[in-house]
Amino acid sequence: MYWTLELASYLEDAPWPATKDELIDYSIRSGAPMEVVENLQALEDDGQPYESIEEVWPDYPTKEDFMFNEDEY
C-alpha cells in the first residue's frame, strides 16, 4: 500500500467519519483511480470508522509540514 498526495486528494471530500467499506464505495462512485480503491482494501477493518485521512494515511502532510508562515502575508 502506498499513498501520494494525488491519491489522497480523492478522499478529501469523503464523508468523514467513514468505515472502510464506505470509503471504498465513495472512491468508486467518485471515479478515483484503482490505486485508491486497492489502498483502501488493504486497510485493517476493525469495524470502527476512520475519522479523517490522517487515520487512513498516518504520514499525510498537514499544514505544519510545510514551511509557510501565514503571518508574512
Phi, psi of 62 (to 5 degrees): -110, 180
Show me where the domains of the chain are located: 14-43
Of residues 61 and 73, more confidence is placed in 61
pTM above 0.75, yes or no: yes
pLDDT range class, residue 7, cuts 50, 70, 90: very high
What pLDDT is attached to residue 25? 97
Predicted confidence (pLDDT) per residue in 26-67, tens digit: 999 999 999 999 999 999 888 899 999 999 998 888 655 455
Inter-CA distances, 45 with 42, 48, 50, Å: 9, 7, 10
Predicted confidence (pLDDT) per residue in 11-28, tens digit: 989 999 999 999 999 999
Phi, psi of 18 (to 5 degrees): -150, 145
Where on the phi/psi map is residue 30: left (φ > 0), alpha (ψ -120 to 50), or beta? alpha
C-alpha cell at 55: 487515520
The helix/strand/coil state of 61 is: coil
